[in-house]
Structure 1
Amino acid sequence: MISSSTDRILLPWHDPTPRSVALRIAAGSARAIVEGRLGPGEMLTEAQLAEAAGASRTPAREAMVQLQSWGLVRLVPKKGGIVTAVSPAERRDLVDLRATLEIRGIQLVAGFPAQRAVLADRLRASLAAQRSALEAGDLLAFSEQDVDFHLRIIEAGGNAVVAELATALGPRFARLTHLAVSGDALAAAHYLREHEELLRPLESGDAPAFSAAVRHHIAAAHFPEGPDPEESAAEGLR
């Protein structure tokens, strides 16, 4: 079920040869938004993007549409695109979806020791990259490797459509993590420890324990202030 990741492009700005000028513009803008160099509420215009990229307004317009598809801007007719903010509801929905897909991925490989071993090796490489990013104080790189870690678990299930959808959400996942760890290396170190804990049930093929560990990771990493009120209400209806 685990496919080769030789040609895997994790996030748009990692693509060394984007298929078009529009994608190159969109990728650069996405990185700026994820890093916080373009903040929520800022207005982007076609003219601004075109001038910065040395391109015409047509690819800049296409780039704006792509940024909206990634959930990073909201288009306003005849004005441009407003950089979106991550709301509590979006944060809850994104991490819940990611956890659901990860749990399913581990359920599918639980009975296959060889595939679990391959996945564990890939995750250890991701953990090593996370440590290096922390040591260098590069929280963007850490956030990127956080996305890599979780997407590899999702991809382990072997569902190409699910993997494609999860990868399309990569910029939003990266922004979520970067917001959580930005200016807080201790929070990033906590993420790393939580990731290391996820390896244990994964390697043993204990899907229920992995599910519990993922949910704990979400609560500790993304909701340290306590249960989300809307999520608690939803739990009461189940």
Structure 2
Amino acid sequence: MSKLYSAAEQVYREVKERILSSALPGGELISEGEIASEMGTSRTPVREAFLRLEAEGWMRLYPKRGALIVPVADGEAEHVVSARRLIEAAAVRTVVADPVARAELVRELRACLDDQRSVAAAGDVTTFTGLDADFHRAIVRAGGNPLLDAFYASLRERQRRMTARSLARDPLQLQSIIDDHTRLADLIETGDADGYDAAVVVHMHQVHGLGLPSGGAR
């Protein structure tokens, strides 16, 4: 195990990454013993990590039974998507009004798309979900509102987990997500904020298997 972090911190990071990547899907029951054995440590740091993950809402502990990975709650995906759409749409309207900021953002998005294509070709879904979140976060950050940026960042882990869950169900979505991202970057480049808003609604709902809201795709 790495000496950069305590044993409890390493277990926490590893188990949380498995949850966010859907390697540990919602509803799965794991034990302190199996994680301790896998990571070559005692149960004490595993117990500390589990308590921390429970406090964050990622798992639920049952004495003598183990730890249940908490599934994505009913309605959570819809709420996350709704919040993301509102924040991104506001950011895009700000960015497209500034030609310099718009050009800088488009360059950043194109570079992110190149990385997405590379990891998709390698079948690296875990890295891809991080790049997916980075793509959308870059748009919000370019909007220049630190309060909205901070709130959006707080959704990153939920977003990653939702995307990983969707890709676990249908790995072929990798290419459709890249195609959608390319379209979104094109709309920003042409300054079409209304087109972006309509396209991102369809994109988010399709990726996460949600029905389109009434009037969502104009």
Q: TM-score over 0.5 for the alignment? A: yes
CA distance in 2, matches of 1:195, 1:181: 16
Choose from 172, 176, 195 the match for 1:186.
172
CA distance in 1, matches of 2:161, 2:56: 11
Of the structure 1 ranges 63-72 and 181-190, higher mean CA displacement relative to structure 2 is found in 63-72
**1:42-191 map, 5 Å:** 42-44=28-30, 52=39, 54=41, 57=44, 60-68=46-54, 71-75=57-61, 81-182=67-168, 184-191=170-177
Change (3 A) 1:196 1:93: same
CA distance in 2, matches of 1:136, 1:183: 18
Percent of aligned pairs with the same amino acid = 32
What is the Cα deviation at residue 61 of structure 1?
A: 4.7
* Aligned partners of 1:134 and 1:185 also within 8 Å: no
What is the Cα deviation at residue 127 of structure 1?
A: 0.7
Of the structure 1 ranges 193-202 and 212-221, higher mean CA displacement relative to structure 2 is found in 212-221
Taking structure 1 as the reference length, what is the TM-score of the superposition? 0.74
Choose from 194, 198, 205 the match for 2:191.
205
Change (3 A) 1:99 1:67: farther
Taking structure 2 as the reference length, what is the TM-score of the superposition? 0.80
**Ranges in structure 1 where 5+ consecutive residues have no aligned partner:** 1-16
What is the Cα deviation at residue 66 of structure 1?
A: 4.1
CA distance in 1, matches of 2:43, 2:209: 43
Q: State the Cα deviation string for residues 179-209 of structure 1 (Å, max 9, x = none).
A: 1122633211111111111012212333222
Work out the number of aligned pairs and report it. Answer: 212
Root-mean-square deviation (CA), in Å? 2.9
CA distance in 2, matches of 1:123, 1:32: 27
2:108 partner letter: R
* Aligned partners of 1:70 and 1:172 also within 8 Å: no
* Aligned partners of 2:166 and 2:209 also within 8 Å: no
